[in-house]
Structure 1
Amino acid sequence: MSYMESKGIALRNAEKQLSIASTRDKNLALQKVAESIKNNRQEILNANQKDVDISRKNNMTEALIDRLMLDDDRLDGIIEGINTVIKLQDPVWQSNKVWTIENGLTISQMTTPLGVLGIVYESRPNVTVDAFSLALKSGNCIILRGSSSAINSNIALVKAIKEGLQNSPISKEVVQFIEDTNRDLVLDMLNANDYIDLIIPRGGKGLIQFVIQNSTVPTLQTGEGNCHIFVDKSADLNKALDILINAKTQRLGVCNACETLLVHQDIKEKFLPMVYENLKEKIELRGCNNTKTIINIKDALEKDYKEEFLDAILAIKVVNDIDEAIEHVNKYGTKHSEAIITEDLTNANRFQRRVDASTIYVNASTRFTDGSEFGFGAEMGISTQKIHARGPIGLEQLVTYKYLVMGEGQIRK
């Protein structure tokens, strides 16, 4: 029996129990896991420090190390995420569609778990717990494959999860983790159709494309984040500056950080110097020729407008009007999160209707595209595709449905 087959059989056996588990039992299991993570806090933090030290020796950028790093506050946030998931409504065996057709048959559309989920992800160890929590509450078993850079952190977190489950009514086999960092096992996972119902890739463009191109298991695509902020001519410039600084600098290595600033031609002489004075010491600014007539910065090349930097770099472009801004976003964006800063309601509506993205903001930072910020407790990732789920993937996106039909002897003529 292969490594993946043994994991898959364990998951399919556990699925039989979990798919019909009560809300009470699932919530109790999550509570025990939260307690176990809290009790194993120091072991988890020590393991994470080992990963951080190795990554620094391997010259990982500080922005990516920030994604990898855990501390007490972040671990508290992970625990709070579990507690939020506990409070959310169980999405399984719910129906808001019941109808009776002409022949007297009553039809109900009922939500059911997807079955077994697989997630392939990079760096961020919080994903280990977030993905598990959402899977369990939605009645799904899960197999986790994190990156080698977070291997020690993930092993410690999965150990704590399983310890918590041992003290609950739910089998510890509902979660499986691929400890071996051999990349061939990822390929085995992507082709384990007998054991996995859905694969979710979460990470950079390279990882996502690798999964999509090599998986025979259906995939739910989460996308890279080349996110934009467009400052319209009617914008409150102080408000726009605060939003830009937050969207770009609050955390550099995240998919909902702003990577390109678009500025309306009519306000460039006022707004661009404000941007320069506030960001020049923190961020490398790259601009179009029009931008460079106002502030002395590096050239922005065509490739810069296509880039998810995940770093202290911001591309800037001056546009003639909102239509040019929308055209730029739709050409270079990754359908993740886009924002317009404006006091013109017509332009706000125009931007919302015409920009193709999972999440569109008016007068707010793109940093809010996050499952916990949206009230989902956690997320599997941000979906940028248009089928089944879009935006933060929470509990409601992790169920499918079946039709229940009640009759009294009807036959079709």
Structure 2
Amino acid sequence: MNDVVMTKADPEKTIADVIAELGQRAKAAARDLALATAEQRNSALTHAASALRERASDILSANAKDVEGVRDSGKDAAFIDRLTLTTDRVAGMADALDAIAGQDDPLGRTLATFDRPNGLKIDRVSVPIGVIAMIYESRPNVGSDAGALCVKSGNAVILRGGSESLNSSRVIVACLAQGLRAAGLPADAVQMVNTRDREAVKLLLHSTETVDLAIPRGGRGLVSLVQKEARVPTLLHLDGNNHTYVHESADLEKAVGIVVNAKMRRTGICGATECVVIDSKITGLFLPRLLTALGDCQLRGDAQARAIVPDMIAATDADWDTEYLSNIMSVKIVDDVKDSIAFVQAHSSGHTDAIVAEDAAAVKLFMTAVDSAVVMHNASTQFSDGGEFGMGAEIGIATGKMHARGPVGAEQLTSFKYFVYGNGQQRQ
């Protein structure tokens, strides 16, 4: 493996030494990767996909150790679900790598061309960012997706996954390294921080000499830490406090199906709806039908919702701002589309929000006014995903407004520079 490990044989090596060495190796690998052909980068991904399939049993065995390690730690069911890999999930990881390999090359694209009166020709061309530090929590498949997207976009990556998934991550990174070597590329293009020491995160965020961009993917605690500590540029992925608004014009059968899927398909992912917002004109018809269809889902509602379903738990102010990541959903009743926009704007995390409606004017107003990275019409918020957007996979859903927004795929992991072509011009 290409991991850096602190061992008894090297007692003088500190965690700071480890991070510094990882950074230098990543920086060197990034230079080689930027010069690699698209064919080489794609070959690395297809070979890595094959390695994931061949070593599926090793990955599942390592993952079983990770899951067993948190069984008695008090972690909730949503956390354990995100940590757990299955045969299908490992196959999905490999399929994602193949899908990314099959995409158009994000590098070397001419984004714009300017012909100046003095004869200069200026091209704006897509290039890699350099070295990316990917800091994420429990989901081990994030390491596979992030590694693949960075290789595709010509970037080296240092992965710092959750300590709970360390065993799984080691095997996954070994598969990515195997793919890189098979394509004649440096295995150091994808490295991991092979320690549970939490100081590693801060040191990565302070690595201004080697790290060009840090991307956190996790809960508010992780993102807050990155915002506080980062000395390198960041691309933030916040939590998914997502809303689905059911307008008075909604097809109620369609609306029930959408909300149930948006909440219950997988409750522990960031694209899950956490609050359903319902137009007061249809609450009496819609809410009882939704309640029946949701099954094992606890609802926490405002006074109007509880007037229709008296045994519903009363929502507190905290509920409107909570990403449950479990089978709990809050219910808010509003008077019209403008009230829904005001409520969503006040409480959304800016990740993904949706409207279910047949009224075109209401749809346009909601989608224009709600300032989230992804706004949907008549579709489950769980489609807010790089794979579903045709990106093969994603590093995360960026909720900021600079550089990239929404699902971050290979194209979003590029920067640009200007190529200026002259013929002897001199400035007066």
TM-score by length of 1: 0.98
Task: Choose which of 239, 244, 255 in structure 2 pairs with 1:224.
Answer: 239
1:222-261 superposed matches below 5 A: 222-261=237-276
Match of 2:189 in 1: 174
Q: State the secondary structure of the residue aligned to 2:43.
A: helix
Match of 2:113 in 1: 98
Match of 1:409 in 2: 424
CA distance in 2, matches of 1:109, 1:220: 22
CA distance in 2, matches of 1:94, 1:258: 36
Note the C-alpha offset of 1:203: 0.4
- The root-mean-square deviation of aligned C-alpha atoms, in Å, is 0.9
The CA deviation string for residues 332-364 of structure 1, in whole angstroms up to 9 with x for no partner, is 001110011101000000001100101111111
Q: State the secondary structure of the residue aligned to 1:266.
A: coil
CA distance in 2, matches of 1:362, 1:8: 43
CA distance in 1, matches of 2:302, 2:400: 30
CA distance in 2, matches of 1:30, 1:277: 45
Q: State the secondary structure of the residue aligned to 1:19.
A: helix
Task: Choose which of 192, 212, 225 in structure 2 pairs with 1:197.
Answer: 212
1:149-168 superposed matches below 5 A: 149-168=164-183
Say yes or no: does 1:362 pair with 2:362.
no
Note the C-alpha offset of 1:176: 1.2
Say yes or no: does 1:326 pair with 2:341.
yes
Percent sequence identity over aligned pairs: 38
CA distance in 1, matches of 2:183, 2:127: 22
Note the C-alpha offset of 1:52: 1.1
Task: Choose which of 131, 149, 154 in structure 2 pairs with 1:134.
Answer: 149
Say yes or no: does 1:290 pair with 2:304.
yes
1:80-99 superposed matches below 5 A: 80-99=95-114
The CA deviation string for residues 301-325 of structure 1, in whole angstroms up to 9 with x for no partner, is 1110011111111100110111110
Say yes or no: does 1:304 pair with 2:319.
yes
CA distance in 1, matches of 2:33, 2:179: 16
Conservation of the 8 A alpha-carbon contact between 2:43 and 2:179: no
Match of 1:262 in 2: 277
Q: Which runs of 5+ in 1 are unaligned?
A: none
CA distance in 2, matches of 1:168, 1:354: 47
Say yes or no: does 1:114 pair with 2:163.
no
Match of 1:43 in 2: 58
Q: Which runs of 5+ in 2 are unaligned?
A: 1-12
TM-score by length of 2: 0.95
The CA deviation string for residues 208-241 of structure 1, in whole angstroms up to 9 with x for no partner, is 1101110101100111110001100011011000
Query: What is the one-letter code of the residue matched to 1:181?
Result: R
Larger mean Cα displacement after TM superposition, 233-242 or 56-65: 56-65
Match of 2:8 in 1: none
Task: Choose which of 84, 87, 93 in structure 2 pairs with 1:72.
Answer: 87
Q: State the secondary structure of the residue aligned to 1:107.
A: strand
How many residues in Structure 1 have an aligned counterpart in Structure 2? 412
The CA deviation string for residues 28-85 of structure 1, in whole angstroms up to 9 with x for no partner, is 1111111111111101000011111122221221122111111111111101100011
